[in-house]
């Protein structure tokens, strides 16, 4: 019988790529999500019955334990960028990760992969980064042979980074960004999935920081995006004190509206995160140690950002037509 893996958050942005790769490797996959009916898109990743969404709440011990019973490996991809209701950083990144690891140890599961983030530290200014560090410690406390993956900003077809800023270019000649000189090392989502699969199949354990081949400032990334979508916009660096003020007002609005306005724009914690570079640290284990050559942004971005070009899929054709001599 083929091996079984339970992937918590396996229908999300990163999780779906891991799910697909595990299925391609012949594993049976349980995709543990809060709403299985919203995760039916993962079923075609394998043959009939190979990939199955199952209901799970990572804030509940029994729910977490039940969906991993009989599994040979577990992978945790659950994370939030913005706290909403009971899904705050502490309950998801720290307590949830620890609960999954504790249950895996109790069930005698051999392998665990946990998705964290570059910058995870007990001493970080950001509550997001601190909660990630607490989660890592909890995972390693119960599963010392687990693989911890710390990616930089992840890009891919469904990302909320390049897609978000590319959409903003449709509304005016200016593109405002916070901390334009902060450096990032964007990593392709499927490269992260390849690393996770290696951890689940027992290739290596330990903490790995994952960054792509290019380190660029926020401003340079936005210029690359603009070049890709064939638009000219003025990139404006928002002063940090203005960003803090704006984020504070938006967070207050979120509070007084009882989270009816979830503040998907900018939070105070995100502003704190943007003050620090998001790149692989010197001496950290990474893709080289896994034998993975990460792909470049230039080879991937045109494949999904074309829809933001002035004429969409026809932009290149129109550009070529202008050069015709009749």
Domain CATH for 97: 3.40.50.720
d(CA 258, CA 78): 24
Q: How many domains does the chain have?
A: 1
Q: Does 59 map to a domain?
A: yes
Non-local CB neighbours of 87 within 8 Å, separated by 6+ positions: 80
Asked if the model's pLDDT at residue 312 lies above 90, the reply is: no
Maximum separation of any 2 CA atoms in the chain, in Å: 75
Q: Is residue 26 part of a domain?
A: yes
pLDDT of residue 133: 98
Angle formed at CA 17 by CA 53 and CA 88, multiple of 5 degrees: 70
Indicate the SS3 state at residue 289.
Answer: helix
Residue-wise pLDDT tens digits, 15-27: 999 999 999 999 9
Check if the beta carbon of residue 236 is closer than 8 Å to that of residue 178. Answer: no
Residue 50 domain flag? yes
Answer yes or no: is 300 within a domain: no
Evaluated on CA atoms 21, 287, 128, 82, the torsion sign reads negative
pLDDT band at 311 (very low <50, low <70, confident <90, very high): confident
Which range of residues forms the domain containing residue 108? 4-155+186-213+278-295
pLDDT digits (tens, 9 = 90+) for 197-221: 999 998 789 999 999 999 999 999 9
Is 79 contained in some domain?
A: yes
HSE-CB for 56 with a 13 A CA cutoff: 30
pLDDT at 1 over 70: no
Q: Express each pLDDT in 70-79 by its tens digit.
A: 999 999 999 9
In this structure, which long-range contacts are made by residues 48-57, counting pairs with CB atoms below 8 Å and at least 24 apart in sequence? 50/23, 51/19, 51/23, 53/10, 53/11, 54/30, 56/8, 56/32
Is residue 141 in some structural domain? Answer: yes
Would residue 160 count as lying in a domain? no
- Residue 107 DSSP symbol: T
Q: Write out the two tokens for 150.
A: 């710390």
When pLDDT is cut at 50, 70 and 90, the band that residue 324 belongs to is low
Q: Determine how β-strand 183-184 pairs with β-strand 216-217.
A: antiparallel
In a domain, 170, yes or no: no
Q: What is the pTM of this model?
A: 0.94
Residue with tokens 């893996």: 5
């Amino acid at each position: 019988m083929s091996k079984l893996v339970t992937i918590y958050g396996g229908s999300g942005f990163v999780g779906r790529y891991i799910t697909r790769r595990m299925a391609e490797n012949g594993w049976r996959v349980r995709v543990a999500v809060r709403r299985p009916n919203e995760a039916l898109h993962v079923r075609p990743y394998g043959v009939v019955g190979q990939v199955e969404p199952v209901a799970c709440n990572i804030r509940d011990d029994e729910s977490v334990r039940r969906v991993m019973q009989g599994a040979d490996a577990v992978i945790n991809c659950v994370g939030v960028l913005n706290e909403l209701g009971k899904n705050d950083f502490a309950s998801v990144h720290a307590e949830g990760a620890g609960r999954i690891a504790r249950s895996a140890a109790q069930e005698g599961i051999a392998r665990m992969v946990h998705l964290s983030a570059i910058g995870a530290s007990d001493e970080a200014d950001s509550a997001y980064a601190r909660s990630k560090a607490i989660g890592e410690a909890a995972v390693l406390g119960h599963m010392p042979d687990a693989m911890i993956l710390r990616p930089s900003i992840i890009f891919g077809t469904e990302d909320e980074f390049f897609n978000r800023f590319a959409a903003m270019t449709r509304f005016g000649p200016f593109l405002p960004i916070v901390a334009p000189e902060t450096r990032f090392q964007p990593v392709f989502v499927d490269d992260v999935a390849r690393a996770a699969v290696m951890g689940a199949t027992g290739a290596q354990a330990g903490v790995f920081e994952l960054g792509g081949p290019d380190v660029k400032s926020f401003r340079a990334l936005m210029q690359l995006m603009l070049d890709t979508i064939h638009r000219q916009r003025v990139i404006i660096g928002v002063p940090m004190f203005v960003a803090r003020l704006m984020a504070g007002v938006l967070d207050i609005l979120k509070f007084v509206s009882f989270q009816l306005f979830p503040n998907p724009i900018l939070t105070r914690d995100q502003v704190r995160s943007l003050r620090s570079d998001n790149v692989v640290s010197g001496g950290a284990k990474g893709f080289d140690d896994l034998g993975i050559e990460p792909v470049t942004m230039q080879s991937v971005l045109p494949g999904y950002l074309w829809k933001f070009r002035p004429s969409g899929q026809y932009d290149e054709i129109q550009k070529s037509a202008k050069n015709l001599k009749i």
